[in-house]
Every structure is written in C-alpha cells, then in structure tokens.
Chain A
Amino acid sequence: MKITELFERGEFVVSAEVGPPKGCHVEQLLEEAKTYLSGVHAVNVTDNQSSVMRLGSLAMCKALKDEGLNPIFQLACRDRNRIALESDLLSAAMFGIDNVLCLTGDHTKLGDHPQAKPVFDLDSVSLLHTVAKLEEGEDLGGNKLVGEPPKFAKGAVVSPCSDSVDAQLAKMERKVAAGAEYFQTQAVFEPEKFIKFMEKAKQFGKPVQVGIIIPKSAGMVRFMNNNVAGIHVPDEMIEELKKDPEKTKAGVTGVEIAARIIKECKPYCQGVHIMALGWESKVPALLEAAGI
C-alpha cells in the first residue's frame, strides 16, 4: 500500500527501518519484523546502508511483503548506474512494491569495500525525476515502456539538524520539484532545531516523518556526535543516559528520551520514522510511551 494514501487520509504515519543481514538467511529478521513491527504502517529496507555490503533491499522487501508487511524500497545511487536503477524499479513494481525512498547514498570509502568504484551516475534528485518519468511510461533514455507504467509513492530524505540547513532546504525544494511526495528525516535529537526547520519546510507542502533513533548508551551517542552527519545529541541527554541506573542496558532511558522527542515534534510533522538499529524489540514500547 502506498504510504502517500495514509498521509492523504490524515494519519500520523509510522514507519520503522530494518537492515538486511550480511548473508542469505532472513528467517530471524522476518520473525522480528512480524513480532515487533506489525503495528507500524510501513517498513523501510535499507540499501547496503553505510556502504556495507548486505543482502539486497529489493529481495528483502519482497520477503516482507509476502509476510503481510508493507515495505518501503530504499534505493541508493552509489552502487548502480541509471540502467540498473530503472531496472530495479521495474522489478519492484512487478512484485507489487509501491513505496520507494530515493537516496544518493554514502560514499563507498565509508563502508566495508573502500576499494569499490562509487557510481553516482544519478543522485537523489535525478533518481526521483527518473521514477517520475517511468510513471509516465518512458525511461530516462526517452524510450517507451511496454504496458501500464508503474506507480510509486516517491519518498526522499532530508537532514533537518544539519549545520548546513539552508543547503538542505534548497536540496529539499529540488527534490519536491523532481517529484518527491513525502520525506523522512535524519535522526532528530534536538526538537527545537527540527521545529525551526519545519517552519521553513512546510512551504513545500509535503508530509515529513521525523526520524528517531533510540539512544542505546552514552558511548553510542558520543560516537554518533563524532561520526554521523546531521546528528547532534545534546550534553544533557548524554548525562541522562549516563545516570541510568540500569546503564541503559534495558533501554528504558533510551526509550523515554526517544518518546519525549516524538511527543515534542509530533504537532509539527505528519509522521515518525524509527531507525531502531537492532532494537526493533523496543519499537512497540516506544510507540506506546509516545502515545501513538
């Protein structure tokens, strides 16, 4: 089901993210997804996230769909040229996968195959444009498709707490012009920055899902502060995680913090996107704590 239909109905859209395994067995992931993510509207499947080679996003989307979940096919431009991207989009449509999230992708140097050639034949904006062209029955080379063209809910990402927020807004506007119908954001730990961002972003008239990562420990958030673009976890939050009597192993403090962020951002956006990073089991508790 297209996630855009839910936005149109005025639902507060909840999605969560899963990363396929580095291997060809998906039983465990499917089991976890069925157990913990059956309550969300859609499940994103990452595409060789952080340039780390894993089982393919498209295959995992199909497996989730067969189990009754609603997958969002993440498609990055790092590993495929325009021919392969278009071909994978047609393959997704054949499987009935109708949500796609278009990304540029991290550079190959950041991942586990730093020797690989980075492709970037297209980027997030030209990929959205390509999807829109396919929907009109024509490929990027100007050739006609045979039969009824595919139709996707076209998603994109934006980084609201980036220190280059004006450049991010300019890119967001280009994505909207290229056909983006909804946005998921990089993880937010500073709701006041997100709210400020949304004041400017609402002019584009597209639904935005606030990105949420459940902070696992002080060490994890310090690592993100030092290494992950667009994420800044404030000192008070790090102190809060440090003080946790259970050392956050149970995730209680992390879930509390994430729920608080969702509550603060909720009035300003149209949904939430949870990147559980292995803590899929905490998603139901998080949604309950956030009152969703």
Chain B
Amino acid sequence: MLITEMKAKETLVSLTDGKKVFIINCEGCKEVHFPGKEAKEFQKELSEAGSVTGIITTDYICNPDNMKLRLSKHMAEIEAADAVLVFSCGVGVQTISAYLEDKPVYAACDTYPLPGFQGVTPLEYECDQCGECWLNLTGGICPITACSKSLVNGQCGGAKNGMCEVDNTMECGWERIHRRLAQIGRLDALKSPVRVRNFATDDEVSK
C-alpha cells in the first residue's frame, strides 16, 4: 500500500498564489490512501478565491491512454490555467507532466510507502515513494528515479553526450529536468535553497 499525504498548505499556496489552476484528483488504486477531506477543503478555498479553471476527479491517471481520454474534454480549462495541480501519487504527476509538456504541473502530495500491494501502475514512470516529493522543483521529472545517483541539487559532471555515466542508453535525468524547466519558464527553481534529503520517512523521526 501507499499513502499520499497532502503537502503543507503553505507549500501549495506558494505554488498557486496569484495563479489560475486546473486540479486533478486521482482516486484510482484502492491500495492508495488519498487525503480526501484535506484535498476537498483546500480546493474549496481555491475555488472560492476564483483561482480554479476546473476540477476533475478520476482514476488511473498513470495510464497514459486513460489520462489523455479523461483530460480531452477539459483541454480548454487546462489551457486557461497557469498551472496544473495534481493530487495523486508520484507516478500520476509524472505522467501528466510528460503529457502537458508546456504547462507547469505540480504535485500536491508526498507519497509514502506502506507494506503490501503497491497499486496498479504501468511502470512507465517510477515513484520511489520517498515521502518528500521533489517534482515541483524539477519540472515534474523525478530526480530520485531519473538520476542514477538520485541527486537533488543538479547535474553531476558525468553526463557524456547528454547520456548517464552509468547507463549510456539512459538520458541524463538532470539534462531532462533542465530542458523542461526552461520549457515551462521555471529555471528559477534551480535557485532555490540547498536541498538535503531526509531519509527518515518515519513520522516520529522526521518531525
């Protein structure tokens, strides 16, 4: 199982402040705990402030064909938004971010692991369930799974012709992140404070 926990409200406000957003809720896998109540409350506040161009609640957005079909009826609302805010596990956010390549796509949740069945994902994008989702700082491309060293502060010196030093059939994850941040006009995300990973996902230790 896994838990998707809504990020701190201040974090979400900092991402959406003054922007029009389109919201996607994914309640796909039964094995995933979804922060239904908190999500609804926050979305209500955003709607009342007039910042929402549309909200959909769907399932299995990690399946690209399904996701495209679900989003197809809402493209005008998505077009009207400055950013897309996704309430799902890390796989869902990555799938949408790859599809809406000119739009900032933000993760509203952190994903934590629990023992047991992991839900149904097509494995095209990986989520390590690290509990501190980085996708908002990296243009929706996961630095934990797309970088062989899981680096969170940028590219190492090991990329050769844009390919990873460990696997020359894999494009450097940070090369992709850099390109995408440029594409969505978010290169400023690279100027954020030093990032230090927190491996203590256990609540008692991390808080």
Q: A129-B194, A174-B190 are in contact. Are A168 and B161 (CB under 8 A)?
A: no
Map CB proximity to A onto B193-207 as digits: 1 under 8 Å, 0 otherwise: 111110100000000
A35 to B163, CA, bound (A): 41
A171 to B174, CA, bound (A): 10
Task: Check if A110 is an interface residue, CB within 8 A of chain B.
Answer: yes
Chain A interface size band reads 35 or more
Task: Check if A229 is an interface residue, CB within 8 A of chain B.
Answer: yes
Q: Are A104 and B190 neighbours in the complex by a CB distance under 8 Å?
A: no
Residues of A within 8 A of B150 (CB): 120
Q: Are B194 and A167 neighbours in the complex by a CB distance under 8 Å?
A: no
Residues of B within 8 A of A162 (CB): 157, 159
A21 to B75, CA, bound (A): 62
Identity of the chain B residue whose Cβ is nearest the Cβ of A166 in the assembled complex:
B178
Residues of A within 8 A of B174 (CB): 164, 167
Contact of A124 among B153, B178, B193 (CB under 8 A): B153
Contact of A177 among B162, B175, B194, B197 (CB under 8 A): B194
Identity of the chain A residue whose Cβ is nearest the Cβ of B192 in the assembled complex:
A174
A122 to B195, CA, bound (A): 9
Q: Are B190 and A164 neighbours in the complex by a CB distance under 8 Å?
A: no
Contact of A107 among B148, B162, B190, B197 (CB under 8 A): B148
Q: Are A123 and B152 neighbours in the complex by a CB distance under 8 Å?
A: yes
Tell me what chain B mostly uses at the interface: helix, strand, loop, or mixed: loop
Map CB proximity to A onto B27-57 as digits: 1 under 8 Å, 0 otherwise: 0000000000000000000000000000000
Residues of B within 8 A of A118 (CB): 149
Q: A107-B149, A177-B194 are in contact. Are A167 and B155 (CB under 8 A)?
A: yes
A287 to B6, CA, bound (A): 59
Q: Are B151 and A123 neighbours in the complex by a CB distance under 8 Å?
A: yes
Task: Check if A121 is an interface residue, CB within 8 A of chain B.
Answer: yes
Residues of B within 8 A of A157 (CB): 157
B139 to chain A, nearest CB (A): 13
Identity of the chain B residue whose Cβ is nearest the Cβ of A125 in the assembled complex:
B153
Residues of A within 8 A of B13 (CB): none
Q: Are B156 and A104 neighbours in the complex by a CB distance under 8 Å?
A: yes
Residues of A within 8 A of B149 (CB): 104, 107, 118, 120, 123
State the total of A-B contacts with C-beta under 8 angstroms.
Answer: 99
A174 to B174, CA, bound (A): 14
Task: Check if B166 is an interface residue, CB within 8 A of chain A.
Answer: yes
Q: Are A126 and B155 neighbours in the complex by a CB distance under 8 Å?
A: no
Identity of the chain B residue whose Cβ is nearest the Cβ of A77 in the assembled complex:
B149
Contact of A186 among B157, B165, B195 (CB under 8 A): B157
Q: Are B194 and A164 neighbours in the complex by a CB distance under 8 Å?
A: no
Task: Check if B172 is an interface residue, CB within 8 A of chain A.
Answer: yes
Task: Check if A109 is an interface residue, CB within 8 A of chain B.
Answer: yes
Task: Check if A106 is an interface residue, CB within 8 A of chain B.
Answer: yes
Q: Are B158 and A229 neighbours in the complex by a CB distance under 8 Å?
A: yes
Q: A107-B149, A166-B178, A229-B157 are in contact. Are A174 and B199 (CB under 8 A)?
A: no
Most chain A CB within 10 A, of B154, B157, B160, B196, is at B157
Q: A107-B149, A120-B149 are in contact. Are A167 and B178 (CB under 8 A)?
A: yes
B187 to chain A, nearest CB (A): 7
Q: Are A121 and B178 neighbours in the complex by a CB distance under 8 Å?
A: no
Residues of B within 8 A of A122 (CB): 196-197
Task: Check if B73 is an interface residue, CB within 8 A of chain A.
Answer: no
A128 to B162, CA, bound (A): 25
Task: Check if A94 is an interface residue, CB within 8 A of chain B.
Answer: no
A29 to chain B, nearest CB (A): 25
Task: Check if A173 is an interface residue, CB within 8 A of chain B.
Answer: yes
Docked complex: A86-133 residues within 8 A CB-CB of B: 104, 106-107, 109-110, 118, 120-126, 128-129
The 6 closest A-B CB pairs, nearest first, are A125-B153, A171-B154, A129-B194, A159-B157, A167-B155, A229-B160
